[in-house]
Structure 1
């Protein structure tokens, strides 16, 4: 009972813009060993997906990853994928997290998924990474995945692919570092 999930979604935009989920990756992290294993990795096409999802201000994912509009157009339907995701979540009673979990979980909950939430590694990394906030605030900036990676693994270069499962694998290693430090705790 030491295994948790780390989830990462890719979208065409923000939820308040009407963004569409286009990919979901989920990995298992063993908190005893640090081993990471891909559990789920799939593209997904929602009914709300239209041509506007590939144009500004949406479509960021198509300009900043290897994901193409054609791949999403041919992807399995959300009505088939989301129940599979819920089944995976249900198999891990300790719970799930995501880097910037409010973003990922906000989308998934709005699609009816139920998630046993664990702490957010982005929030937990903030005081550890201590990145200056350029918005004039006294508190630290939330670190991006790449910024947190650079802090925890300074000798291992990493460029985020913005692909669900690959991002989740790297985020899981950050979670494991936080866990070893005693910062990431199970509820």
Structure 2
């Protein structure tokens, strides 16, 4: 599926503090749904979670006790939000933060978020805009010439995140990464999905090793943000610093190279025997 054809949701939360594991809760959640590059839906609600907003959080989001007094309860808002995002991939800026709070709120009402496909826009910015220095949402938006004032309210942050995301999509297209599946492979924070994709890729590499065949790969360097097509003679798979690597002779570089397996976007086993 091309980026311009995808159905997805950008979401953001405002909270009582920074740590869900310490009891902090969501006090506002917002989302915009996009399909075929057009906005098709919007979700926005304050939440009366029964926990006061910390002084530090109030200094950022200005959400007061009075604003939350008559807001709906989490047991009302969270199911509505999960229905809103059903069957859509989710994007968020610094997605682990938002996803962690959403996971907690869902668990408190007996719901699970394990199968949600969540992609981190911040990770996209760091890899696709190397050398930028700062990667706050407002700074990245300004880099693209977007004129937003960051109010640290959920819906306003969603709108800014969406505009940044569209700019990052343009970079992906220029790199010939105009395929939504590549986004999931590179930037998803869903551990189950990532582990499954990694296992499938390692099985393909092992098959090539067993057959003594070369492989053709589309490789994305997560350090340089570059995409290349490579023909490789696979030699072995190893783990280094917690990452899985393919070690093989690269015809393009004419030497043995290490390839991060999570950077291999496409792999085909060729009919050619593995000979240098």
- How much does 1:174 deviate? 1.1
Aligned counterpart, 1:172: 162
- How much does 1:157 deviate? 2.9
- How much does 1:96 deviate? 0.7
Give me the TM-score of the superposition, normalised by structure 2.
0.54
Q: State whether residues 28 and 36 of structure 1, in contact with CA within 8 Å, keep that contact through their aligned partners in structure 2.
A: yes
| SS of residue in 2 equivalent to 1:64 | helix
Aligned counterpart, 1:99: 93
Distance across 1 between alignment mates of 2:82 and 2:93: 19
| SS of residue in 1 equivalent to 2:162 | helix
Greater percentage in strand:
2
Distance across 1 between alignment mates of 2:57 and 2:32: 21
Aligned counterpart, 2:258: none
Q: State whether residues 89 and 119 of structure 2, in contact with CA within 8 Å, keep that contact through their aligned partners in structure 1.
A: no
Aligned counterpart, 2:102: 108
Give 1 or 2 for the bigger CA radius of gyration. 2
Aligned counterpart, 1:86: 82
Structure 1 pair 82–110 and aligned structure 2 pair: CA distance change class (3 A): same
Q: RMSD in angstroms over aligned alpha carbons? A: 2.2
Gaps of 5+ in 2: 107-111, 185-276
Aligned counterpart, 1:27: 32
Aligned counterpart, 1:150: 142
Aligned counterpart, 2:125: 125
Larger RCO: 1 or 2 (CA < 8 Å, sep 6+): 1
| SS of residue in 1 equivalent to 2:158 | helix
| SS of residue in 1 equivalent to 2:118 | coil
Distance across 1 between alignment mates of 2:120 and 2:89: 12
Gaps of 5+ in 1: 133-140
Q: State whether residues 99 and 171 of structure 1, in contact with CA within 8 Å, keep that contact through their aligned partners in structure 2.
A: yes
Give me the TM-score of the superposition, normalised by structure 1.
0.78
Stretches of 4+ moved more than 4 A in 1?
none
| SS of residue in 2 equivalent to 1:10 | strand
Distance across 2 between alignment mates of 1:38 and 1:60: 32
Distance across 1 between alignment mates of 2:161 and 2:130: 15
- How much does 1:94 deviate? 3.7
Deviations 1:40-85 (A, max 9, x none): 10000114x1xxx34xxx3334223343221112211111111101
Structure 1 pair 36–145 and aligned structure 2 pair: CA distance change class (3 A): farther
- Tell me the number of residue pairs that the alignment of Structure 1 and Structure 2 aligns: 165
